[in-house]
A and B are shown apart, each in its own frame.
Chain A
Amino acid sequence: MLLLVLKRILLGFITLFIVSLITFSGVEVLPGDACTTYLEREAYGAALEACYERLGLNTPAYERYISWAAGVLQGDFGYSLSGEMRINDVLGPRVKNSMVLASASILIGIPIALLLGIITALWRDKLPDIIISTITIFSMTIPEFISATLLILIVAIWLEWLPGIVIVPTGASISELLPNIILPVIAISMIMTAHMARMVRSSVIQVMASDYVQMAILKGVPYWTMVFKHVLPNALLPAINVVALTIAWLLGGVVVTEVVFNYPGLGRLVIESISNRDLPVVQALAIILASIYVSINLIADLMTLMLNPRLKSLQIKK
């Protein structure tokens, strides 16, 4: 058991190592480097040399990778190009803001998704299922920037209920953020909830058709006892992994949503740093976002492992 957990963690680290190699070599291979993009048209002669010297770009690539990776392992991402700031200082408040947004969306989204998924599964092909399923398909397929734009148009402009865009500084405290994040949270959790509700629905339907549930019905177990005791524990277990993958996949959607609402989080930093060609920040963001993805998956794996005694003796294979 312990060995299995350690193995999963090791695999996570290997994945992150490959990610760091990919982003580092990606930036190396693609035309242009930090200095030519930073200096733009003045990138020649002494200015270029000086820039190479200052950023240490005149040493071989593998040496730079090693020193960069060593810094990252100690939690130091180096300096950003445009602002000449420490990347850690740039990232800190952004990470906090995005965490507030993401955790609010997840806390609201997961209970609603469970409820909707269970309702649609138990009333399968009846009126509640048809209505809810149609709505979830719509909110799932429509891109984040469209639902976010429509939310602003309807709620903020036509009804004038809530502020449409977030106008708080990057370093705002949580209490300053809260009234502003209602619309972004609705936009993100709408899509997430729809995805999860669909998965919970099909998982519950599968379990309802299994032999042991049929057996319970034949034994005369009351309907709701059966649902809560036999169906749900078994149905929600496989859903955990899929939910984790969905959350990780939505990182991309969070980027777009933050841009639409002008929210000062990691997502807007992605766009800003890429527009400014601030490659050190881009590299740092790639590692951070990939670590989030890997840890969410790891937590999901471990949760499945702990909740399912059958898997303890088996090897988990993807």
Chain B
Amino acid sequence: MTLEKEQKKNNLQKVYEVIKTMASKPSGLIGLSILLFHVILAITSPLYVPYDYKAIDPSLMLQAPSSEYWFGTDSLGRDVFTRTILGGRTALTVTFFGSLIALLWGGALGIFCGLVGGKIDDVVMRIIDAFLSIPWILAMLLIVSLLGTTTLVLIPALGFFYGKGIVRVARAATHDVIAKDFIVSARARGHSNLSIIWNEILPNVRDAIMVEGAMRWSWMLLGFSSLSFLGFGVSPPTPDWGLMISNARGLMSFAYWAVLAPIFGLSSLIIGINLTADAFAKALGIDRSTKAPV
């Protein structure tokens, strides 16, 4: 019991130290604050938005920003400020749970393949390679157009498609530790494969997989908002940045505010997640600058 408590305390301390290292550099501090700001905004924004996000009023069409409507109104007379601060909620939820799914199945399959090796490993990696060579956008569009654009389809679909890159990372990290003495001795002690995975391999590959997952999160957000922009993401009238940009784009020659507000929201969140993921990788001592975005 006491040992377990001690372990927990150590883990908490480690998390605290990683965050402290991340915040010690300006880029990491900026990234963390932007991300934190967006998360707080996403959780609390329904409590204090000034207008109803779906209230359509033709008499208020395309109003320029004023003291009443801070970011102006869009082509249906909806308040752009309200829709912008609500716009990150769906994106954050979908991509957060999507990355979690990607992390879990990608990590599990990668460790398994790295451990068993041989024929099974060869076949699985061939299939993963084949999946990687289908452009993500085509596969996602196909799934979404046939199964619908609810979040219940989007989360597992994104999770599946962004997890295949994690398989490779987890497999490579497992290969790095598999020949080490402590694994050989665990085998000699007669531990089962499951126990070796849980007690010996996982603690050693966890960092690499988590860093990869953090990076996937920002790519997934990019993919998700691209889908929304193309009209294959969340459906209207849900406020979503990608959807808002695509709707307001046609009229931007005289109502640029309706485009710029969601652009600012989405860009700042993606930059925030990216800076955080970079700082996270550096704090854990993993270099990912030489990697291609697969």
Contact = CB atoms under 8 A, between A and B. Distances in A.
Given A141-B271, A142-B270, A15 B126 contact: yes
B166 to A, nearest CB: 15
B290 interface: yes
Given A153-B259, A255-B137, A289-B138, A271 B230 contact: yes
Q: Is the interface of B mostly helix, strand, loop or mixed?
A: helix
B235 interface: no
Contact of A282 (B142, B222, B245, B249): B142
Nearest to B245: A149
A142 B267 contact: yes
Contacts of B126: 14-15, 18
A185 interface: no
Interface residues of A, number: 58
Contacts of B134: 19, 22-23, 286, 289-290, 293
A294 interface: yes
A274 interface: yes
Interface string B121-155: 00000110111111111110111011100000000
A227 interface: no
Interface in B148-181: none
A256 B138 contact: no
Nearest to A201: B289
Contact of B252 (A16, A146, A149): A149
Interface string A19-61: 1001100110011100000000000000000000000000000
A246 B137 contact: no
Nearest to A252: B137
A88 to B, nearest CB: 19
Given A145-B229, A271-B141, A31 B146 contact: yes
A146 to B, nearest CB: 5
Contact of B293 (A143, A149, A249): A249
Interface in B225-254: 225-226, 229-230, 232, 242, 245-246, 249, 252-253
A137 interface: yes
Contacts of A94: none
Interface in B22-55: none
Interface in B263-288: 263, 266-267, 270-271, 274, 287
A137 B278 CA distance: 11
A304 B86 CA distance: 49
A143 B293 CA distance: 14
Contact of A285 (B131, B138, B223): B138
A153 B229 CA distance: 17
B115 to A, nearest CB: 18
A238 B223 CA distance: 28
B218 interface: yes
Given A15-B130, A290-B133, A270 B138 contact: yes
Nearest to A200: B290
A239 to B, nearest CB: 9
Nearest to A157: B253
A245 interface: yes
A137 B135 contact: no
Contacts of B116: none
A153 B254 CA distance: 10
B119 interface: no
B263 A30 contact: no
B274 to A, nearest CB: 5
A47 B230 CA distance: 32
Given A138-B271, A252-B135, A270-B138, A146 B263 contact: yes
B294 interface: yes
Nearest to B141: A274
A112 interface: no
A23 to B, nearest CB: 7
Given A149-B252, A157-B253, A203-B290, 17 more contacts: A14-B126, A15-B133, A22-B130, A26-B142, A27-B142, A30-B143, A143-B226, A145-B245, A152-B252, A198-B289, A242-B290, A245-B293, A252-B223, A259-B230, A270-B138, A282-B138, A290-B134
3 closest residue pairs by CB, A with B: A245-B292, A18-B130, A252-B137
Interface of B: 126-127, 129-139, 141-143, 145-147, 218, 222-223, 225-226, 229-230, 232, 242, 245-246, 249, 252-253, 256, 259, 263, 266-267, 270-271, 274, 287, 289-294
Interface of A: 14-16, 18-19, 22-23, 26-27, 30-32, 137-138, 141-146, 149-150, 152-153, 157, 195, 198-199, 201-203, 206, 238, 241-242, 245-246, 248-249, 251-252, 255-256, 259-260, 270-271, 274-275, 277, 282, 285-286, 289-290, 293-294, 297
